[in-house]
Amino acid sequence: MLRTLRVKNIALVEALRVDFGPGLNMITGETGAGKSILMGALGILLGERADKTMIRSGEDACGAEAVFELEDTSEVDTILEGFGIEPCQDQQLLIRRIVRASGSNQTLVNDSPVTLQVLKRIGEYLVDMHGPHDHQSLFHLSTQLDILDAFGHVHKERDAYAEIYEKLKATEARINELQADDGDVAEQVDILSYRVKEIEEAALKEGEEEEIREEHQLVGHSHQILELSGNIINILTEAEPCVFDALAEAQRYMDELARLMPDAQSWQEELRAGAGSIQELSRSISSSADRVDADPSRLEWLDQRLATYQKMKRKHGPDVADVLETLNKSKARLRDLETRGEQLDELEKERATIEKDLLKCGTGLRRKRALASTELAQKVTDELKQLGFPHGSFEILMSEVEPGPTGIDEVEFSFAPNVGEPARALRAIASSGEISRVMLATKAVIADHDRIPVLVFDEIDANVGGEMGHAVGSKLAKVAEHHQVICITHLPQVARFGEQHLAVTKYVKEGRTFSNVDRLDNEARVEELARMLGGKDFTKVTLTHAREMLEST
């Protein structure tokens, strides 16, 4: 759910914090008070475009922030991790948007910068917004298909179909790859054969080049290394006198000193350890020097090997891993060219089998969708009868299309408001009042199946009379049993159903206009409903009516 929305320096709003609750949240207020500013702020937090015209006069920047609390963050975390963003902490998701007059805007999710595309992807999961003139997700054919599939519980069949479809696409891609026109095939085979032979004969190994360079360094300076090593060994252990002999003589004196001076006993051990270290160091130097190969033929071989590595990297590089990758790709391509006839025969047979399986799976999926569409259409029609369309008819049209990622069907919702009128696609409905009620009826039916946690209805009662307000409010309350619902309304008959009621007001201070949002208690709600019933100068009658409306909800 949307827990908190903060708005700063957007239009009339200087600084606002709005806390929402679970269930049905009603927002009311006079026209022009700033209700649309709240929706605009939420819109830019969900990925809508924003520009400096939003910034409050006299300010350099504006911004909005939303805190979402999610019962299950696994799906959102999957989206976030896919874009390298930190997952939710304490089941909270934080979105910030800052718009500056200078143009250096910021978009942050969990304090990580993101693009608008990422923000839209996250927003599509979090909130479904519907305004009076807005065709939102319900009016996209893909969403209508998702709604039908969720209502019909066909995800198992749809996933099985999608798996076969992906297998078909992979097979077709392989066929296209083999059938690609490569010009003279014989010439391609010759070129690839030469390349494979050249790289294989070079016998490159990852890590070997570094080893050869190290050995080349040693062999190239072998004479100097041997001379220096010999000098050090002589001084340490072999010359007369040498360091080891001097330490041995010092040890004899130390033994005498230890008999006379107890403190010298610890020095004895240090001197013995020093002598042992000198011997060990001399042996180590001698052993390493013995491994240095001063043979000129070895140096020549190392030069040639390094030259081979340089040549291969120059032709097929830039490093050894790339050369070996070129070898693997060339071998695979050569194999394709030499055996593509046989491979194409096998792939064509495989494609035919997959297409048969796909059609069978798609047909089964269609049958389940057809059954679900009949039930869904009837349920939405029943809801619409309670929303002022006693003779209305909601229909779901299914047509067969070429196999695609989601099946062999195209689904489109349509609606006929009156007897004798043909059904029209939802996206073709011109009346905002009709659109709002059809959408609300659909949402009421699919509330158990819709995964989007927050639903926003901006003036859902547009062009709806007071008589229908009770029905609209009742449906909103039903939807709010399964989702958090935020609704902007001008009808008291709708507002009465709110579990939380927020009132937007504006005032003038020092020649500037400001907007404010207050959470209303019961008595304040009575006054707000009375205002909605009779205007600012409400009477005792309107107050009584408003109180009765709340008490009878």
Q: What pLDDT, in 10s, does the model give residues 71-81?
A: 888 888 888 88
From residue 77, give the alpha-carbon distance in Å to each of 70, 144, 169, 450.
Answer: 11, 26, 29, 19
- Long-range pairs for 155-164 at CB < 8 Å and ≥24 separation? 157/361, 157/364, 157/365, 157/368, 158/365, 158/406, 158/407, 160/361, 161/358, 161/361, 161/362, 161/365, 161/406, 161/407, 162/405, 162/406, 164/354, 164/357, 164/358, 164/361
Instruction: For residue 66, list its beta bridge partners.
Output: 5, 95
Coarse DSSP helix, strand, coil percentages of the chain, rounded to the nearest 5 percent = 55, 20, 25
Mean pLDDT in the chain? 87
Q: Which residue has the higher pLDDT, 7 or 534?
A: 7
User: In angstroms, rounded to a whole number, what is the distance separating the alpha carbons of residues 551 and 29?
Assistant: 21
Q: Which fold has domain 1-132+451-466+481-517?
A: Rossmann fold (3.40.50)
3-class DSSP assignment, residue 309? helix
Q: Which residues contact 267 (CB under 8 A, 6 or more apart)?
A: 254, 257, 258
Inter-residue contact 450 to 442 (CB < 8 Å): no
Residue 110, φ and ψ in degrees, nearest 5: 50, 40
> pLDDT tens digits, residue range 424-475?
888 777 566 677 778 788 888 887 777 788 988 887 776 666 678 888 888 8
| pLDDT at 502 exceeding the cut of 90 | yes
> Does the predicted TM-score (pTM) go above 0.75?
no
Both structure tokens of 158: 């749809």
Enter the tokens of residue 210: 């570094």
Q: Count CB neighbours of 339 within 10 A.
A: 12
How sure is the predictor about 135, in pLDDT bands with cuts at 50, 70 and 90? very low
86 closest CA partner among 98, 73, 97, 99:
73
Minimum mean pLDDT range among 130-144, 290-304, 391-405, 503-517 = 130-144
Nearest CA to 149 among 359, 396, 427?
Answer: 396
| Percent of the chain at pLDDT exceeding 90 | 36
pLDDT of residue 132: 56
Q: Which residue in 218, 109, 147 sits closest to 406, CA to CA?
A: 147
Please name the residues in contact with 5: beta carbons below 8 A apart, sequence gap of 6 or more: 16, 17, 18, 20, 38, 41, 42, 64, 65, 66
CA distance linking residue 293 with residue 221, whole number of Å: 10
Determine the straight-line distance between the first and last CA of the chain, rounded to whole angstroms.
24
DSSP symbol at 427: G
Q: Which residue carries 């201070």 as its tokens?
A: 509
Query: Cα 459 to chain center, whole Å?
Result: 31
Q: Where are the alpha helices (DSSP H) in 386-488?
A: 432-446, 466-479
pLDDT > 50? residue 553:
yes
In angstroms, the CA 42 to CA 22 distance is: 17
d(CA 73, CA 88): 7
- DSSP class of residue 53 equals G
pLDDT number for residue 431 = 65
For 74, phi then psi, to 5°, come to -60, -45
Q: Structure tokens of 342?
A: 């046989």
Return d(Cα 92, Cα 90) in angstroms, integer: 5
Most confident of 48-52, 152-156, 508-512: 152-156
Instruction: Identify residue 272 by its one-letter amino acid code.
Output: R
| Mean pLDDT of the region 262-286 | 85
- pLDDT at residue 133 above 60? no
Helices of type H across 65-109: 74-82
- Are 457 and 485 in contact, with CB atoms under 8 Å apart? yes
- Cα angle 113, 116, 121 (rounded to 5 degrees) comes to 100
Mean pLDDT of the region 473-499? 91
pLDDT at 311 over 50: yes
- Spatial separation of the C-alpha atoms in residues 99 and 181, rounded to whole Å: 51
* pLDDT of 112 over the 70 cut: yes
Cβ–Cβ contacts within 10 Å for residue 466, how many? 13
- Tokens at 446, concatenated: 């699919």
Instruction: Report cis status (omega within 30 of 0) of the bond before 390.
Output: no
Domain with CATH 3.40.50.300 in the chain: 1-132+451-466+481-517
- The torsion angle over the Cα atoms of residues 336, 339, 344 and 349, rounded to 10 degrees, is -130
Q: Is the dihedral of CA 106, 110, 112, 113 positive or negative?
A: negative
Least confidently predicted of 103-117, 250-264, 305-319, 373-387: 250-264
Asked if residue 458 lies in contact with residue 131, where contact means CB atoms within 8 angstroms, the answer is yes
Whether the CB-CB separation of 182 and 340 falls below 8 Å is answered with no
Longest dimension (CA), the chain: 127
- C-alpha–C-alpha distance, residues 411 and 145, integer Å: 6
Q: Which residues pair with 407 in a beta bridge?
A: 404
**Nearest residue to 99 (alpha-carbon basis) of 12, 4, 11:** 11
Look up residue 475 and give its two tokens: 């449906």
